[in-house]
Amino acid sequence: MQAMKIATWNVNSLTARLQHVLDWLAVNPVDVLALQELKLTDDKFPHQALREAGYEAAVFGQKTYNGVALLTRAPLTADDVVRNIPGFADDSARVIAATVPAPGGPLRVVNGYFVNGQAPGSDKFDYKMSWLRALRDWLREELAAHPRLLLLGDFNIAPEDRDSHDPVGLAETIHHTSEERHHFQALLGLGLADAFRLFEQPDKSFSWWDYRMLGYQKNRGLRIDHILVSEPLRAQVAACGIDRVPRKWPKPSDHAPVTLELV
DNA sequence: ATGACGCATCGAATGCGA
């Protein structure tokens, strides 16, 4: 059976990062790439350049902020693409889900740009909590309908202390709060596994580093980009890692891609 | 340290990210 490669990457503006995406795909010709923070409307999406690179795209864009897309080598069936959480009113384009052909049977891929939440106690934090609750309730149904499911993207949650460069100094601040971590655990409780932790990983493995104060050079980062796999997929996960290479390129996204291999 | 850096927005200063 042929291996299948899947990745997620918050590009912090696809307009600014298109060449990075193309360069990365040329070296990492994954079958599926989930993108977040497109920061462009659908009419500005670079379908042509990506098609020339061998990818079709399902897009859910928005002006200035947010925006998500799924790039796939194999054509998607458009009739079961879902945009945002059904029944949850949301002004932000944060979720796109689609079914992707795969060797062991179709995969349901749910790509999310989770709410940042700014600070505990803020209106934005309340929105993050409501959004996470709605996501969980929807995913319960989605998993029932599609047992072979991946949830991936920018979760904006560092699940454990080891996922932060400063778990003590940043305790109970955004990305580190107990409430956010409980929500992450509740997602695992649906029957999902954090693919990254299925393998031994280097200490201080992060997927995001602040642009300021030499954050990357000092490895002051957080692991907030994740790939969760449902129980039926777990035994097929052969590898999961963070690719720091594009974070070293000129004018990088502040996030690095997270990659997964299914056999 | 209500900072820093980077991106987007009708053109500069501000909102936002994490």
A128 touches strand B (CB under 7 A): no
Task: Quickly give A154 CA vs B8 C1' distance in Å.
Answer: 20
Q: Are A216 and A209 in contact (CB under 8 A)?
A: yes
Active-site amino acid positions of A: 113, 154
Q: What is the pLDDT of residues A174-197, one digit of tens each?
A: 999 999 999 999 999 999 999 999
Nucleotide closest to A251 measured between CA and C1': B6
Q: Domains of chain A, with CATH numbers?
A: 4-262 (3.60.10.10)
Q: Give the whole-angstrom CA distance, residue A114 versus residue A118.
A: 12
pLDDT at res. A104:
87
Task: Quickly give A254 CA vs B6 C1' distance in Å.
Answer: 9
Phi and psi torsions of A85, nearest 5°: -85, 115
Residue A140 pLDDT exceeds 80: yes
pLDDT at res. A114:
98
Average pLDDT of span A139-150: 98
Q: Are A74 and A31 in contact (CB under 8 A)?
A: yes
A129 touches strand B (CB under 7 A): no
Phi and psi torsions of A17, nearest 5°: -115, 10
- How many CA within 13 A on the CB side of residue A106? 13
What residues does A156 pair with on adjacent strands? none
DSSP-derived 3-state class of residue A240: strand
Q: A191's torsion region: left (phi>0), alpha (psi -120 to 50) or beta?
A: left
List, in sequence order, every beta strand (DSSP E) within A11-162: 32-36, 56-60, 68-72, 82-83, 95-100, 107-113, 149-154
A210 touches strand B (CB under 7 A): yes
Q: What is the pLDDT of residues A100-135, one digit of tens each?
A: 999 889 999 999 999 999 999 999 999 999 999 999
Q: Which residue has the tokens 């778990």?
A: A167
A65 touches strand B (CB under 7 A): yes
DSSP-derived 3-state class of residue A91: coil
Task: Quickly give A27 CA vs B2 C1' distance in Å.
Answer: 42
Q: What is the pLDDT of residues A58-73, one digit of tens each?
A: 999 999 999 999 999 9
Q: pTM score > 0.95 for this model?
A: yes
Q: Give the whole-angstrom CA distance, residue A106 versus residue A237.
A: 15
Contacts of A48 (CB under 8 A, 6+ apart): none
pLDDT at res. A260:
98
Residue A1 pLDDT exceeds 70: no
Q: Give the whole-angstrom CA distance, residue A33 versus residue A260.
A: 10
Task: Quickly give A213 CA vs B9 C1' distance in Å.
Answer: 26
Percent of chain A with pLDDT over 70: 100
Q: Which nucleotides of B are covered by protein (CB under 7 A)?
A: 3-9, 16-18
- Model confidence band, residue A217 (pLDDT cutoffs 50, 70, 90): very high
A118 touches strand B (CB under 7 A): yes
Task: Quickly give A119 CA vs B2 C1' distance in Å.
Answer: 13
Residue A171 pLDDT exceeds 90: yes
Q: How many residues does chain A have?
A: 263
DSSP-derived 3-state class of residue A136: helix
pLDDT at res. A2:
77
The mean of the pLDDT values for chain A is 97
Tokens of A192: 């999902």
Q: Give the whole-angstrom CA distance, residue A141 versus residue A151.
A: 13
- Model confidence band, residue A234 (pLDDT cutoffs 50, 70, 90): very high
A62 touches strand B (CB under 7 A): no
